[in-house]
Amino acid sequence: MSIIELGEVRDEPESPPTVRRPRAASRRLRAGAVLLAALVVLAGAAPVPRRAVASVPTAPGASTYLTEDSVVVVDATTPTGDRYLTTYALPTANDDSVVRRRWRTPLARTGDYLAVWARRGLLLAAGVSATSSPIETTAFDAGTGRQLWRHPGVARWTADGGLLLVNDESEEFGAVRKVTPDTGAVQWTVSVPVAGGPELHGPPDQVDQLVLVRPTGEVQVYDAGSGRLLRDVDTLAGARSAFQRVQVVGDLVLLVPPGSTRLVAYGLPGLDPVWTSPVPLVSWATTCGDLLCVVQQTGGIQAIDPATGAVRWADPGPDMFVEIRGDRLLVTGPDQRYAVRDAATGRERIDLGEWQLVAPLRRDDELIGVRSAGRQLVVAALDLRTGGTRVLDVLPDVAGGCQAALPVLLCRRLDGSTGLWRLAR
């Protein structure tokens, strides 16, 4: 799910909002008492099976990243001494207490890495070499650690197996480059206005089109494989220059014209006008079941028909959209509690309680929530379809900072070390 701010619009929705049922203070106190009692019983009763934990060798300040089959450790920035990127194989089900080093490769002594991920035989690391430098992606051979290339930008896979690198080179213009994955050879380059894109169409690893909005009002669609311009439509009357925000959701290009209260939808790849809908304070949008959920800057949600732009339901309340699974929405309020809503109606199904979400490595993995209980960390699966929670484990001496590649969970422990657990599912 790509999240791009769309700017402000200020009309009220035509359909009446759904009013969220308030929670009384006494109910909250009762719920808190029940939760505390449940955690005490859970932590002290006959005992939850202790999962074997594997320790990941990390120096103070190092960053760790979980991939499908390994843990990647990036040493902290140091003014002197050596610095490395190291990968460790995940423990197996038969030997789940040991991590074995695969390879280690030297890194520059300065710079910060912001993300590391593995795909199709490559280990890709995105970071900056200095505070004023653009983000760069460095590609390593996932089997040997050999550095293959480095380019400005953040990498995304195309439908034909190439890599797009999106780079903000200056305050006004950047570039999108397509490169050959194993060599880094540049196949084509398109300059882009930083404020106007690009937006990418297709799944994260199968991008087939990119959409740009020029300051003069042209919306352009390019083929991600060849870099060829497919369509160019002027969305501003006259030759004036103005800022417009854009987002691609499914096969729709959503545009907020400057100073407007309208959300305008165009179809891909031809940029044919589909509908215009008045919506207030749009921040970003996403598919939610059979509808299109538009999230407001104030936290409210409006669900509209993607075919017509008609508002199906609206809730101006403070709940923030978090996740969608099938026809169920996960939202959270100012009290940090999560709730499940029906995507078709907006009605609340059940209150899941207070959790911290662990971002899943794979899009379809079940959602994992964690919360502290003294010196222990309760780990549970959050099921949006049933509205239930299922405790997977209670881990001792865990501080948080967890990542999940199910059934493996990586967390930071209270003593500063990093551990791996294999969860029961």
Q: Report pLDDT for 317.
A: 81
Domain for residue 416, yes or no?
yes
Q: Report pLDDT for 49.
A: 52
Domain for residue 360, yes or no?
yes
Domain for residue 10, yes or no?
no
Q: In this prediction, what percent of the chain has a pLDDT beyond 90? A: 46
* pLDDT tens-digit readout, 61-97: 899 999 989 999 998 876 667 789 999 998 876 766 7
Can you list the pairs that 137-146 forms with residues at least 24 positions away whose Cβ atoms lie under 8 Å?
A: 137/165, 139/181, 139/184, 140/85, 140/105, 142/87, 142/118, 143/103, 144/103, 145/85, 145/87, 145/102, 145/103, 145/104, 145/105, 146/105
Q: Report pLDDT for 50.
A: 53
Calpha distance 252→264 (Å, rounded)? 10
Q: Report pLDDT for 249.
A: 95
Domain for residue 76, yes or no?
no
- Nearest CA to 241 out of 222, 258, 266 is that of 258
Q: Report pLDDT for 17.
A: 31
Q: Report pLDDT for 135.
A: 86
Domain for residue 293, yes or no?
no
Domain that holds residue 380: 355-425
Greatest alpha-carbon pair distance for the chain in Å reads 74
Domain for residue 402, yes or no?
yes
Domain for residue 371, yes or no?
yes
Calpha distance 406→425 (Å, rounded)? 9
Domain for residue 192, yes or no?
no
Query: Based on the structure, what is the number of domains in the chain?
Result: 1
Residues in the chain with pLDDT values less than 50 = 1-48
> For tokens 């993300």, what's the residue?
115
Residue count of the chain: 425
Report CA dihedral (325, 361, 246, 287) to the nearest 10 degrees. Answer: -10
Using DSSP, state whether 339 is helix, strand or coil.
strand
Q: Rounded to two decimals, what is the model's pTM?
A: 0.81
> How many C-beta atoms surround the C-beta of residue 312 within 10 A?
18
| Percent of residues in the chain assigned helix, strand, coil, to nearest 5 | 5, 50, 45
